[in-house]
């Protein structure tokens, strides 16, 4: 099959490109051409803020893709550009959204894809923008182009920094802090439940959308197989490093008063996965222990 990825050099988009190549697909990427791409992709270079350049790059290939995946769509103009560019140019389109679209103060446990409250600018400007993109895509009548929306939770893997919770989310210094025996400061003592998903697992799910009729016009929670406390995430990392975990609690109330944008992290993030199970897509299966081992070893290898 022919697969086009908007992105291709990032944490998620690079994993999608590699997964598509491993399945034997022909793979194109659209990037600004500033970072290395997986070997074997056909590189299109354009800045997505330049619609004319994007149009020229896409139309110049003269290809109708079986699957287009946008991993870097963050705002309403981005999805409007996608609709303009790819309607009639692809059979299936995947939008990588986020679990931040759910209002953190009104979640259900487990959270289904349906909700009565959605992110606001006050609770998560990022989630609010992603939700606007979802609505634009769902409300359109894109001739000949079906869509699938995936809502991943915390995405981890060796191409990102470690850490899933304030004050140590995506913390480039986490390994060194743990090795020095320094306590890490976790809001709420890290007692928030979540279902982290390995980037490679998410990529396999996304690529398996191609040719899957049951995934058409579906919104899908996308999470890993394990539900853990955020504190346990850090404990697993410490165990892999062979060091003792020391935690200093940061009160939730005072942290939120100073950092209201942290609200989407400071809630339980657990999901009803029955809908994605019915689609027959590739389901994330890597345990947190194994995934974090790959993550830690990957970060150490990069440093070496």
Q: What's the confidence (pLDDT) of residue 140?
A: 83
pLDDT at position 304, please?
Answer: 77
pLDDT (0 to 100) of residue 242? 98
Q: Report the C-alpha gap between 32 and 293 in whole angstroms.
A: 32
Tell me what pLDDT residue 303 has.
85
Instruction: Starting at the earlier edge strand, list the strands of the sheet with 65-70.
Output: 42-45, 26-31, 2-6, 65-70, 90-96, 146-152, 218-222
Q: Tell me if residue 186 falls in helix, strand or coil.
A: strand
Around 197, how many Cα atoms within 13 Å sit in the side-chain half-sphere? 30
* Residue recorded with tokens 């009548």: 141
pLDDT, averaged in runs of 10, over the chain (304 residues): 95 97 98 92 96 96 97 96 95 98 96 97 96 95 89 98 97 98 97 98 98 97 98 98 98 96 96 98 98 98 87
Question: How high is the pLDDT of residue 142?
Answer: 77
Residue 181, burial from CB neighbour count under 10 angstroms (0-12, 13-18, 19+) = exposed
Q: What is the CA radius of gyration of the chain?
A: 19
Please tell me the distance from the alpha carbon of residue 284 to that of residue 222, in angstroms, as a whole number: 8
pTM, to two decimals: 0.97
**Widest CA span of the chain, in angstroms?**
58
């Amino acid at each position: 099959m022919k697969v086009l990825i908007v992105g291709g050099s990032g944490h998620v988009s690079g994993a999608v490109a590699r997964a598509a190549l491993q399945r034997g697909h022909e793979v194109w990427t659209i990037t600004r051409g500033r970072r290395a791409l997986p070997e074997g992709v056909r590189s299109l270079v354009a800045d997505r803020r330049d619609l004319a350049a994007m149009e020229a790059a896409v139309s110049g290939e003269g290809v109708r893709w079986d699957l287009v995946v946008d991993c870097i769509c963050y705002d309403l103009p981005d999805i409007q550009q996608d609709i303009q560019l790819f309607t009639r140019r692809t059979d299936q389109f995947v939008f990588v959204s986020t679990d931040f679209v759910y209002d953190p103060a009104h979640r259900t446990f487990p959270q289904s894809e349906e909700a009565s409250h959605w992110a606001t600018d006050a609770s998560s400007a990022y989630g609010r923008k992603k939700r606007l993109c979802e609505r634009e895509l769902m409300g359109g009548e894109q001739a000949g182009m079906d869509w699938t929306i995936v809502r991943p939770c915390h995405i981890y893997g060796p191409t990102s920094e470690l850490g899933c919770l304030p004050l140590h989310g995506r913390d480039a210094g986490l390994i060194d802090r743990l090795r020095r025996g320094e306590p890490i400061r976790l809001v709420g003592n890290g007692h928030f439940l979540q279902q982290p998903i390995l980037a490679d697992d998410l990529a396999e799910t996304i690529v398996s959308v191609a040719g899957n009729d049951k995934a058409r016009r579906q919104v899908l929670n996308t999470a890993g197989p394990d539900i853990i406390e955020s504190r346990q995430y850090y404990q697993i990392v410490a165990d892999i490093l062979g060091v003792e975990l020391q935690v200093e609690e940061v009160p939730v109330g005072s942290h939120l008063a100073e950092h209201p944008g942290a609200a989407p992290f400071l809630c339980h993030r657990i999901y009803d996965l029955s809908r994605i199970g019915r689609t027959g897509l590739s389901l994330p299966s890597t345990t947190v222990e194994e995934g974090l081992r790959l993550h830690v070893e990957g970060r150490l290898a990069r440093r070496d």
